[in-house]
Amino acid sequence: MQVLPLRVLVLEDHLFQQTVAVNMLRQIGCREVFSASNGMQALEVLQRVGPVDIALCDLRMEGMDGLEFLHRVARAGLVGAVILSSSLSEDVRRAARKLVPLLGMTLLGDAGKPLQVDALTALLKKHLDEPAVTATNSRPLVLAEIDEVRSAMQHQQMETYFQPKLNLLRGDVVGVEALTRWNHPLGGVIAPAVFMPTIESCGLLNELFFTQLNDGLELQRQALTRVGGLNIAFNLEPVQLANPDLVSTIKNVLGGYGLPGSSLTFELTESGLLEVSATCLENLVRLRMMGCRLSIDDFGVGFSSLQRLCQLPFNEIKLDAEFVRGLGSEPEPRCQAVISSTLALGKALGMSVVIEGIEKQEQYQQLLNLGCTQGQGYLFAKPMTRQDLLAWLDTRAVPGKNI
Residues that are catalytic = 356
166 C-beta neighbours (distance < 10 Å), count? 25
Cis? peptide before 114, omega within 30° of 0: yes
Query: Is residue 139 within 8 Å of residue 351, measured between CB atoms?
Result: no
| Rounded Cα–Cα distance for residues 130 and 124 (Å) | 10
Task: Measure the CA–CA gap between 111 and 57, rounded to whole angstroms.
Answer: 10
Backbone angles phi, psi at 263, to 5 degrees: -85, 0
Q: How far is CA 346 from the centre of its chain?
A: 21
* 182 neighbors 148 (Cβ within 8 angstroms): no
With contact defined as beta carbons under 8 Å apart, do 356 and 179 qualify?
no
Helix, strand, coil percent values for the chain (each to nearest 5): 50, 20, 30
**DSSP H/E element including 168:** none
Q: Are 163 and 232 in contact (CB under 8 A)?
A: no
What is the rounded end-to-end Cα distance, in angstroms, of the chain?
44
Rounded to an integer, what distance in angstroms lies between the CA atom of residue 21 and that of residue 15?
Answer: 10
Instruction: State the Cα–Cα distance between residues 393 and 398, nearest whole angstrom.
Output: 9
DSSP string for 172-241: -EEEEEEEEEEEETTTEEE-HHHHHHHHHHTT-HHHHHHHHHHHHHHHHHHHHHHHSS-EEEEE--HHHH
